[in-house]
């Protein structure tokens, strides 16, 4: 088993990240350090709005690197797969996107959290934590 830092994303956007279509994740908060290498993207079906809330039916769909976080701007709406823009949010730039095939069951939780999964090195160029 390996431990990963994870971020849950409501469907269909985890799949949009895994496919490379979504390269900006929009959040109201920013991580305490960068870059975030090998961040595990867990897709789930429900918004998690309360502290400590989880969804046991998530799926780990990709590993990504968050290389920068900056204020979200209108020009990033398409890259975020968003249908609109609002001020006051942060754009997390995602690079080195590596889909997990097949997706792995994983708990979805709020903010950044830790998940243990079998080793998911399915890309020879990934920097998966060992």
How many C-beta neighbours within 10 Å does residue 30 have?
A: 16
pLDDT score of 128: 38
Please give the structure tokens belonging to residue 7. Answer: 């971020």
In the chain, where the domains are located: 2-117
pLDDT score for 121: 59
Q: Is 82 exposed, middle or buried (0-12, 13-18, 19+ CB in 10 A)?
A: middle
* pLDDT tens digits, one per residue of 75-117: 999 999 999 999 999 999 999 999 999 999 999 999 999 999 9
**Topology adopted by domain 2-117:** 2.30.130
Give the predicted TM-score (pTM) of the model.
0.91
DSSP 8-state assignment for residue 128: -
> Nearest Cα to 103, choosing from 64, 59, 63?
59
């Amino acid at each position: 088993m390996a431990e990963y830092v994870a971020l849950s994303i409501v469907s269909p956007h985890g799949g949009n990240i895994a496919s490379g279509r979504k390269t900006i994740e929009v959040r109201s908060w920013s991580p305490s350090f960068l870059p975030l290498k090998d961040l595990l993207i867990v897709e789930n079906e429900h918004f998690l709005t309360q502290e400590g809330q989880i969804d046991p039916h998530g799926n780990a769909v990709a590993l990504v690197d968050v290389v920068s976080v900056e204020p979200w701007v209108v020009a990033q709406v398409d890259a975020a797969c968003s249908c609109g823009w609002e001020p006051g949010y942060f754009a997390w730039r995602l690079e080195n996107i590596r889909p997990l095939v097949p997706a792995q069951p994983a708990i979805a939780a709020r903010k950044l959290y830790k998940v243990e999964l079998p080793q998911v090195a399915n890309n020879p160029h990934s920097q998966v934590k060992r």
